[in-house]
Amino acid sequence: MQWETVIGLEIHAQLATRSKIFSASSTTFGSAPNSQANAVDLGMPGVLPVLNREAVAMAVKFALATGAEIGRRSVFARKNYFYPDLPKGYQISQFELPIVGAGEVRIELEEGEEKVIGLTRAHLEEDAGKSVHDAFPGKTGVDLNRAGTPLLEIVSEPDMRSAREAVAYARKIHSLVRYIDICDGNMQEGSFRCDANVSIRPVGQAEYGTRAEIKNINSFRFLERAINFEVERQIDVLESGAEVIQETRLYDADRDETRSMRSKEEANDYRYFPDPDLLPVEIEDSLIESLRATMPELPEQRRQRFITDYELSAYDAGVLTADRATADFFEQGIEQSGAPARLACSWLTGEVFSRLNRDSLELSDAPLKADGFANLLARMHDNTISGKIAKQVLDHMWADGSSADEVIDREGLRQISDSSAIEKMIDDVIAANPSQLAEYRGGKDKLLGYFVGQVMKASKGKANPGQLNELLRDKLQG
């Protein structure tokens, strides 16, 4: 039988506020356990939550970025369940009236194809703390530093039909929240996490199959693998005549498999009800308008601009605008160097990206900064170095963080553009190769390349290639 995969994602984006969503504690990652948990975060008796307005503003920005409805009156609700890292015995979340309603995002698939993925809603909630299993032998510790960190839970429609689409969608949201500066997107630190609802159905069937929710996915690679594993598992289950059960499954990256966490029967009845400690959040037009004014250019708009203004291909423009840092890096590079956009694009997506891949680095962590990149482009653009030498220069810059100018001076890599110096080298090479000269003049044009190579070698690669070619042709003509 032919099966169709149906995927919906729930993405938890940690909002980049300085303090927690309902208390004044700091949200900095990696502090000593419980050093960032005050009486409110600890759920002490009698203490009360006070909403952080910055979190509200960030949720509204997300709505503006996705053209989603803004919940003009949203309500915080309590989600009740017991867990040691949940200090109050309930999580403050939003249930019936979320702050962000329906919206959509456009994803680009590989063959230049586009697809629209529906957003069901996005709501504000507080994160839980962490259970620590390795700090005390035989006991579990609780670290509440993360408790109360603001999250925006972004829920999609079940609109994705493959793991690749799910990854494209997740990357798009990841790019968007970073563009609008509401989330740092750091997946290792858990600032951006995905849960995937996966089901399959026979091709052509209208009803959805029973879904499993996969939790604990903390990279795009794992998202793809977890979904593919789960789809295979469900096909096996159905083809063996059994039924998929509705359950929560955990993705284990080490074993590359999903396994059951709890079934629907064991699921909690969360007993949602409006939190009487918090007033409904009313969002005024004035807040929306003031936030709209601060919205940066969004990836889609920027991509269009790159195509129009820089005459880049749709593909290149898409790659460069996929995240804000890359697009900024690119634009800073051309603005500071005056080099053509296409040169900057091919160097960024080629030489720089390949070095990032090789070293498993994000652009933000790379030894090459945007002004260094601009410096390198400028030296190519003004013919101080050739493209070939530029690769060597970049290697040095990458290794020790030097500027292009420093490397060029230190290593003596300045391009030789002095005609008389180049002519001298040409004369020497011609004098040393009389038989090749005769063959060339006898009509063997291909030998031009041989002579270029010999002169370039003599110049240690520094001869200006354009000048060299021109001068060499003249001399060989005789």
Partner 1 sequence: MHKQTISSIRRALAAREYSSAELCQHFLDRIDSANPELNAFITVTRESALAAASQADEQLAKGASSPLLGVPLAHKDIFCTRGVLTSCGSRMLENFVPPYDATVVSRMQSAGAVILGKTNMDEFAMGSSNENSFFGAVTNPWGEGRVPGGSSGGSAAAVGARLVPGCTGTDTGGSIRQPAAFCGITGIKPTYGRVSRYGMVAFASSLDQGGPMAATAEDCATLLACMAGHDPRDSTSIDEPVPDYSASLGDSINGLKIGLPKQYFAAGLDDTIAAALQAAISELEKLGASFVEVELPNQHLAVPAYYIVAPAECSSNLSRFDGVRYGHRCDDPADLEDLYKRSRSEGFGHEVKRRILLGTYALSTGYYDAYYLKAQKIRNLISRDFTTAFETVDMILGPTTPTPAFELGANSSDPVAMYLNDIYTIPANLAGLPALSAPCGFSGELPIGLQLVGNYFTENKLLNVAHQYQQVTDWHSQLPARFA
List, in sequence order, the alpha helices (H) in 105-259: 163-179, 220-239
**Which listed range, 75-83, 101-109, 297-305, 460-468, lies at the site for partner 1 (CB under 8 A)?**
75-83
> Of residues 35, 39, 362, 388, which one binds partner 1 by CB under 8 A?
39
**Which listed range, 49-57, 98-106, 205-213, 438-446, lies at the site for partner 1 (CB under 8 A)?**
49-57
Q: Helices (H), strands (E): how many in the chain?
A: 16, 15
Binding of partner 1 by 78 (CB under 8 A): yes
List, in sequence order, the alpha helices (H) in 106-219: 163-179
Minimum Å distance from CB 342 to partner 1?
55
Q: Are 128 and 146 in contact (CB under 8 A)?
A: yes
Minimum Å distance from CB 328 to partner 1?
38
Residues 273-302: x where in contact with partner 1 by CB under 8 A, - otherwise, as a string: x--xxxx-----------------------
Q: Are 161 and 7 in contact (CB under 8 A)?
A: yes
> Strand locations in 333-402, DSSP E?
none
Minimum Å distance from CB 250 to partner 1?
18
Q: Are 179 and 298 in contact (CB under 8 A)?
A: yes
> Of residues 82, 365, 477, 478, which one binds partner 1 by CB under 8 A?
82
Binding of partner 1 by 88 (CB under 8 A): yes
Which letter does DSSP use for residue 348 in this model? I
**Which listed range, 41-49, 165-173, 337-345, 429-437, lies at the site for partner 1 (CB under 8 A)?**
41-49
User: How far are the Cα atoms of 12, 246, 437, 468 from residue 431, in angstroms, in the given order?
Assistant: 72, 83, 9, 16
Which letter does DSSP use for residue 350 in this model? I
# residues near partner 1 by CB under 8 A: 28
Minimum Å distance from CB 19 to partner 1?
14
Q: Are 117 and 105 in contact (CB under 8 A)?
A: yes
Amino acid at 118: G
385: number of Cβ within 10 Å? 24
Binding of partner 1 by 75 (CB under 8 A): no
Question: What's the N-to-C CA distance of the chain in angstroms?
Answer: 75
Taking Cα atoms as reference points, which of 76, 155, 66 lies closest to residue 106?
66
**Which listed range, 77-85, 172-180, 338-346, 366-374, lies at the site for partner 1 (CB under 8 A)?**
77-85
Query: Which residue is associated with the tokens 């005459």?
Result: 311
Minimum Å distance from CB 246 to partner 1?
15
Minimum Å distance from CB 218 to partner 1?
25
Q: 49 CB contacts (<8 Å, ≥6 apart)?
A: 22, 23, 40, 92, 275, 277, 278
**Which of 8/49 has CB closer to partner 1?**
49
Minimum Å distance from CB 87 to partner 1?
6
> Of residues 10, 33, 51, 416, which one binds partner 1 by CB under 8 A?
51
**Which of 76/329 has CB closer to partner 1?**
76
Minimum Å distance from CB 75 to partner 1?
12
**Which of 84/453 has CB closer to partner 1?**
84
Minimum Å distance from CB 245 to partner 1?
19
Binding of partner 1 by 87 (CB under 8 A): yes
Minimum Å distance from CB 197 to partner 1?
20
Q: 231 CB contacts (<8 Å, ≥6 apart)?
A: 3, 5, 163, 198, 200
Binding of partner 1 by 46 (CB under 8 A): yes
The angle formed by the CA atoms of residues 298, 101 and 122, to the nearest 5 degrees, is: 75
3-state secondary structure of 193: strand
**Which of 88/225 has CB closer to partner 1?**
88
If you count them, how many residues does the chain have? Answer: 478
**Which listed range, 38-46, 329-337, 405-413, 419-427, lies at the site for partner 1 (CB under 8 A)?**
38-46
**Which of 82/136 has CB closer to partner 1?**
82
Per DSSP, what are the bridge partners of residue 334? none
> Of residues 28, 53, 89, 438, which one binds partner 1 by CB under 8 A?
89
Structure tokens belonging to residue 478: 């005789």
- Restricted to residues 365-404, the positions that interact with partner 1 (CB under 8 A) are none
**Which of 92/168 has CB closer to partner 1?**
92
Binding of partner 1 by 132 (CB under 8 A): no
Alpha carbons 169 and 384: distance in angstroms, whole number: 43
Per DSSP, what are the bridge partners of residue 122? 100, 154
Q: 464 CB contacts (<8 Å, ≥6 apart)?
A: 383, 386, 415, 416, 417, 422
Binding of partner 1 by 142 (CB under 8 A): yes
**Which listed range, 265-273, 334-342, 412-420, 453-461, lies at the site for partner 1 (CB under 8 A)?**
265-273
Q: Which residues bind partner 1 (CB under 8 A)?
A: 39, 42-51, 78, 80, 82, 84, 87-90, 142, 269, 271-273, 276-279
